Amino acid sequence: MRKQTCLIIFLLIACIILGSCNAAHANLDDQDVTIKILTTGNDAGIKTVLDLMADVFNSEHEHVKAEIVMIPEFRNIDDTYDTINTKISVKGEIDLLWLWDSTDLWRYQERDLLEDLTPYVEKSVDYSLDRMVPGVVKCFQKDGGFYGLSPYFSIDSLGGKASQIGEKAGWTTEELLRWFQEHPDCKGEMGLYPDFVLNYFFLPGNLERYVDFEQRKAYFDGEDFRSLLQSIKALPLDKTMYAETWYDDQARDYVRLELIQVNNLESYCNLLKVYGEEACIKGFPTIDGLPRHYMSAPCLAMLKNGDHKEEAYQFMEFVQLRFPEYFQGNSLWTDRELLEQSLSNVTSKDPKEEADKGIRRLSDKEVEALRTVINTLEVQSLESKKIIQIVIEEIWPYFSGEKSLDDVCAIIQGRAQLLLDE
C-alpha cells in the first residue's frame, strides 16, 4: 500500500513538473520578440516612411515587433558615425541598420560587423536573389557574401542631350576636357566651379589614375594630377547659377552636362521633356573610355551581434516584398518584374498623342540604354569616397589663387597616403 501511495505521489509530482515545463515552454513560444532597426535623419517624414513599414509588419506578425530607432544626423558626419558605433557595439542592442547610402555597407562589413544574408535568402520560400536585377545583386556582394537588401535603387552618372555630348556612352579624361573647351557656353544648375567639376565630373570614375589601391600608393603629386588641375583651371567655365530656370522651357536651349540621378522614371521623363530631345547617360570618364555608372540605394543590413536574426530577416524580406505596394510609382525597383513594369509604363506607345498632351515618354532606344546602364552598375568604394572628400576639402585654395599648385598637391598627397597607410 505504501509503495502504491509513493508511486501515485511520484506520478503526481512528475505531472506537475512536466506541466510546468510545458507551460514555461508555451510562454516562451508566445513571448514577443522586438527587433530594433537603427537609422539616422533629422526629417520627421523619413521616420514616418520607416514607421509605416514597421506598423504594417507589426499588424501582420503577432509575436514579432519591429521598432525604429532614430538618431540625429550631426553637422560633423564623424559624430553621426560615432553615435552609430556606440549603439551597435552593445550586443543585442540593435538588430538591423537602415543605411541611406549603400556605400556605408562596406564601412561595417570591413569591420566584420554584418551578417552574410546568403543562407537566409537561400532557405527562404518567398524570395530569392534570382528575383533581383543582376546588376544590383553584384553591388551588394563582396568577398563571397551578400550583405544588403533594398526595394529600389538609383543610377548616378553624367549625362545630357545626345546632340551635345554624343549618343555613345563613355569617354576619357582627355575627351571630357576637350568637350568643355569646345563648349564654353555649357551651363550648370548651381554654376560650374572648377572644384565642383573636378570632384564630381572628373574624379569619380577615374580615381585609379591617381591612386593605386592594390599597392596602397597615392600619386597626387605626380604630373598627371597636376596637369589635370592646370587644365581645369584654364577652362572657360560659366560659374553663373541657373537653378531658377533649369527646368523651364527656356532651359531647352542650354548646352548642359550634368550629374544625373535616375530613381523615379517619371522624374527622368520630365528632365527629358526639358531637353526636348533624346538624352545620353554618358557615364563618368575612365582611363579606358568605357562608361562608369554608380548605383546608390538605401538598404537594410543585419548585424552579427543581434539577438534575433531570424526575426530580423523576416522584416528585411517583408520590406523587400511589400514596400512597392505602399510607395507605388515607376521607380527603379530591384525586383526584375517590377522594374520591367516600370520601364514598360514609361515607354512611348503613341508619340503623336503623347506630344499633343505634353507628355514625355522614353523611346525604345532610351529604354535599352537604361537597361545597359543598369546591367553595368558599380558601387563606388568607401575608400574612393574618402579620398575624393580629401580633395574636396583641400583643392579650392589652388583654384582661388590662395595656394600654389605644389602646396595643394603636397597636402592632398600627404592626407591621401596617410589614409591608404592606415
Cα separation of 75 and 49, whole Å?
A: 23
Residue 362 lies in a domain: no
Are residues 212 and 258 both part of a single domain?
A: yes
pLDDT at site 339? 95
Which residues span the domain enclosing 286? 156-294+379-421
Residues 108 and 252 in one domain: no
The per-residue pLDDT for range 71-80, each reduced to its tens digit, is 988 888 888 8
**What pLDDT was estimated at residue 74?**
85
Amino acid identity for residue 3 in this structure: K
Question: How confident is the model at residue 22, as a pLDDT?
Answer: 41
Q: Looking at 181-185, 245-249, 336-340, 370-374, which range is the least confident one? A: 245-249
pLDDT digits (tens, 9 = 90+) for 126-135: 999 999 999 8
Please check whether residues 100 and 189 belong to one and the same domain. no
- Is the confidence at residue 287, as pLDDT, over 90? yes
Per the domain annotation, does 48 fall within a domain?
Answer: yes
Looking at the domain assignment, is residue 349 inside a domain?
A: no
119 and 189, same structural domain?
no
The predicted model gives 376-394 an average pLDDT of 94
Residues 78 and 191 in one domain: no
Same domain, 401 and 309: no
CATH code assigned at 385: 3.40.190.10
Helical (H) or strand (E) element with 69: strand 64-71
For residues 145 and 184, state if they share a domain: no
At residue 18, the pLDDT reads: 33
pLDDT at 8: 34
Residues 236 and 304 reside in one and the same domain = no
Q: Do residues 211 and 256 share a domain? A: yes
pLDDT of residue 117: 97
Alpha carbons 137 and 155: distance in angstroms, whole number: 14
Q: How far apart are CA 56 and CA 317, in angstroms?
A: 13
Same domain, 183 and 259: yes
Q: Are residues 163 and 100 in the same domain?
A: no
Number of structural domains (the chain) is 2
Is 338 inside a domain boundary?
no
In a domain, 385, yes or no: yes
More confident residue, 76 or 281: 281
Structural domain contains residue 342: no
Asked whether residue 142 is assigned to any structural domain, the reply reads yes
**pLDDT tens digits for range 2-61:** 333 343 333 333 333 334 434 333 333 456 899 999 999 877 666 678 888 999 999 999
What pLDDT, in 10s, does the model give residues 175-204?
999 999 999 999 999 999 999 999 999 999
Same domain assignment for residues 310 and 392: no
- Tell me the backbone φ, ψ of residue 120, rounded to 5 degrees: -70, -45
pLDDT digits (tens, 9 = 90+) for 229-242: 999 999 999 999 99
